[in-house]
Amino acid sequence: MVLRALIFDVDGTLAETEEIHRAAFNRAFAEDGLAWHWDVDLYRELLRVTGGKERIRRYLEMDVVAPALDDARIARLHARKNQIYGETVRSGGCSLRPGVADLVAAAHAAGLRLAIATTTSRPNVEALLAATFADATANLFDPIVAGEDVVAKKPAPDAYLLAVEKLGLPPETCLALEDSLNGLTAARAAGLVTVVTPSLYTTHESFDGAARVIPDLTAFDLADW
């Protein structure tokens, strides 16, 4: 392929953020008077569904004794979770996964475009970039397609299709970087070659169709593409 752009997923790909999300959910639940606690195994199951509000709704379907929550309360819970997440990330509670910073720098030096296609919310993306990249580097991610920008979230291809459209490049010149089966499915459906670096919550998944599956991005070499 003639590589012209890298399109990054965020949660689990740029950084191991899912444990921060899980802790933020639990704190938001406690503050709202809900006796809910999502442990690692439960959260792994909930991560099969993309989107925070969608995960709350899925949990309501799973827990027969859970109180009925209307959309407004779900939205408030999710907004508070995102606020807690942002506070944690901005306080230095998260770092990039190995190899990410070096790859971003190398891609920039090589004249490649850098984009983001994620189903997390834009404030979460902005908080992570501000906390983990220098301002000049964070601004290199253009476009940033977040969960608010699409109707259907991963494994639907919408986020990647929109990112490619905004880049103005043929999909065969763009490489997607993912950590999950949902992300791989979305990227492949958008016609993108995809490299997967499994994360804490996705090591058990199968990644058939990935161009390469590697432990982290320290094993990624632009010269191979």
Catalytic residue numbers, as ranges: 9, 11
CA-based nearest residue to 118, from 109, 132, 128, 108: 128
Q: What is the dihedral of CA 212, 218, 219, 220, to 10 degrees?
A: 60
The two counts, helices (H) then strands (E), for the chain are: 9, 6
Coil, strand or helix: which one is 223? helix
**Rounded-to-5 percentages of helix, strand, coil across the chain:** 50, 10, 40
Query: How far is residue 104's CA from residue 102's CA, in Å, rounded to a whole number?
Result: 6
Helix 18-31 vs helix 52-62: crossing angle, to nearest 10:
60
